[in-house]
Amino acid sequence: MLNVLSRCLALLLGAMILYTSAFGSFESLVQRSLFLSLVILLGLTLYPLGQGKSWRPLGAAMDIVLAISVVLACGYVMTHHQQILTELPWATTRDLWLCGVLVVTILELSRRAIGVIFPLLVVTGLAYAWLGSWIPGPLGHRGFDVYYITETLYLGDLGIWGMLVGVAATTIAAFVMFGGMLLHTGGGNTFMDLALRISGRSPGGAAKVATVASGLFGMVSGSAVANVATTGNFTIPMMKRLGYPAPFAAGVEAVASTGGQVAPPILGAAAFIMAEMLGESYVRIALAALMPAVLFYLGVFLTIHLVARRRGLQVVPVEELPPWHEIIKASRLVPIMAALGGLFAGVLSGKSIQTAAFYGIALTAICYLVFGMRAGTPLRQLIGALLDGVQDAGRGMVIIGVLLAGAQVLVAMIGMTGIGVTLTSMIVGVGQSMLMVAFIVAAVCLILGMGIPTTAAYVLVASVLAPALTGIGVEPLIAHLFVFYFATLSVITPPVCVAVFVASGIAATTWLRAALEAVRLAAAIYVIPFLLLIYPALAGDGSGVDMLLAMCQGTVFVTAFSALMARSHFSGRSWLDVLVLLAIIVLAVTPGWWTTLSAVVATVMMFLWRRRLLARSAVDTKPHSNVSGCQAVSEHDAKETSS
């Protein structure tokens, strides 16, 4: 019964997303309250209270009470939206109860879906707004009674019904539907096969497959944990089967999947929220994130390559690679190209982002049906696959919708109490320079983001910490990208690293060892946000020459830093390798054409020398070994590997 109800609610939510994407949204409060009510009702069926326990009947009764209460609370807003927006009514006892039960349900559903940390943060924000007059010192404030808090949260468009829920109910929902349809019509298998063909036969091929596949999935799904759960179930067992250490396999998958959060077009749904916060276009946000995302995956790819060379990790066997003629079949590529073509055509023609996403969805479905019927697949089966995509998109919106509703409550309390301004003043007061302020902000972002999904973590740190950077002269877009990166990296940073927990579970290894591997693989990525402060042109803020210079510096830095973290050897003397790499890193973070040219030349010479040593090692070992030249390592590396 519960499964049938869940399926019907998911289809209803998906139908609402498709309808409003195609024909435009309803009135703002109607759109948001209808969306949130469907999301919560679906969430109560997907995460039932007491599932599998003896007291499940009591849990079912409580869920029914919560469902009825949510329908009443959201239904009141839908039917009184004009009065709420025009009269800004005073809160009554009825409003207090409706708001209270809605907030409690949001927090309870958040607890069931992702754990207790995020609901505790929201409760802390509410308690701070209510009891602020009892707090001494600069963090105290005059305090607000429950009726004023209710008016802010429930009877207006700055609380629960604010910008975050508005973006979730329109743009993010449309893109989640776009991703669900693309993956369910064969895009997921095509992405995996492309990853196998592109990188499977190079050193560390299985790890590179994870990097490429997770990057492709991430550009559609925008969820680190979802990426690990999807691609990790294929790539991690493959790496282990080829002899890769389990912690390394888990670390590779966690880091590669995290890159999906910072890769255009979706940026883990943060692109749309960032655009609303900054008043910028979505296209501007996506373009600003492009070069840093390229550096992200370059760093991961290089580190994997160099570690694979040093450890002699195996490539993917030829017999496990799908043939090219199967991958490039029209029936597999045309739906993907149609989806992306419809999306870009909608954006370039000036349509709204959700309408552009609908164009992509419609073209994907049409191409899928046409090719499926030509291949003789029954129409019922094809429609079933499309409906599965709609259902999965509806289910995927539950966590996003509930989290953003909770985050909107927290953001409203931050704005009401002025704690964001207070913390900004304190951070700027402690920091004596831009670099010191940036380090403080980065550390706080990592702490605040731990245990919270990326989108909610970004909303929190952007509200509290981005003003600290803009207060010292950093451009708002750069400041938001800076805090966004560190909020994203919190999912692989110990001790609370959600993506690593999932990956280590699949790899059957301890999470701490996997986390250490992940941090080492992602070491260069922790510095990319600081490169944005040094070279704003990495975010497209400057002329073409400035962007070229910044990309050269960033590429050299990531290359040298990755080589340092991989403990790669170039001269046969470890101390000399470290000194050379450190010198290149210093040159890369020093602005100027001469430093850029020097860093590029030094990097090229270093790798040419490395290639010469590998060739010499291959010649020396050829009479005594069957190891091919591409897999040979230097004598120094071989000793380190054996140890």
Using pLDDT thresholds of 50, 70 and 90, give the confidence band for residue 463.
confident
Residue 265 reports pLDDT greater than 80: no
Does residue 135 share a domain with residue 45? Answer: yes
Using pLDDT thresholds of 50, 70 and 90, give the confidence band for residue 359.
very high
Does residue 178 share a domain with residue 121? Answer: no
Residue 445 reports pLDDT greater than 90: no
Mean of pLDDT over the chain: 84
- Percent share of the chain, pLDDT over 90: 22
Using pLDDT thresholds of 50, 70 and 90, give the confidence band for residue 366.
very high
What digits encode the pLDDT tens for the residues 99-155?
A: 999 999 999 998 988 788 889 989 999 999 999 888 888 888 888 989 999 999 999
Does residue 147 share a domain with residue 170? Answer: no
Does residue 124 share a domain with residue 190? Answer: no
Residue 642 reports pLDDT greater than 90: no
Domain assignment of residue 622, yes or no? yes
Domain assignment of residue 196, yes or no? yes
Final residue in a domain of this structure, among 366, 384, 417: 417
Domain assignment of residue 230, yes or no? yes
Domain assignment of residue 203, yes or no? yes
Can you spell out the DSSP letters for 267-325?
Answer: GGGHHHHHHHHHT--HHHHHHHHHHHHHHHHHHHHHHHHHHHHHHTPPPPPGGGSPPHH
Q: What is the mean pLDDT of residues 634-642?
A: 41
Q: Give the total number of structural domains in the chain.
A: 3
Domain assignment of residue 7, yes or no? yes
Does residue 106 share a domain with residue 238? Answer: no
Domain assignment of residue 528, yes or no? no
pLDDT score recorded for residue 376: 85
Does residue 248 share a domain with residue 229? Answer: yes
Measured CA to CA, the distance from residue 5 to residue 384 in angstroms comes to 17
Does residue 315 share a domain with residue 406? Answer: yes
Does residue 347 share a domain with residue 333? Answer: yes
Does residue 175 share a domain with residue 152? Answer: no
Residue 618 vs residue 18, higher pLDDT: 18
Does residue 154 share a domain with residue 189? Answer: no
Domain assignment of residue 379, yes or no? yes
Domain assignment of residue 85, yes or no? yes
Final residue in a domain of this structure, among 124, 139, 158: 158
Does residue 102 share a domain with residue 205? Answer: no
Does residue 125 share a domain with residue 219? Answer: no
3-class DSSP state of 377: coil
What digits encode the pLDDT tens for the residues 384-437?
A: 888 888 888 888 888 888 988 988 898 889 888 888 778 878 887 776 678 888
Measured CA distances, 628 to 89, 625, 631 (Å): 77, 8, 5
* Cβ contacts of 77-85, under 8 Å, gap ≥ 24: 77/29, 77/33, 77/154, 77/161, 78/29, 78/30, 78/33, 78/34, 81/27, 81/28, 81/29, 81/30, 81/33, 84/29, 84/155, 84/156, 85/28, 85/29, 85/156, 85/157
Q: Which domain covers residue 115, as residue numbers?
A: 2-158
Final residue in a domain of this structure, among 132, 158, 184: 158
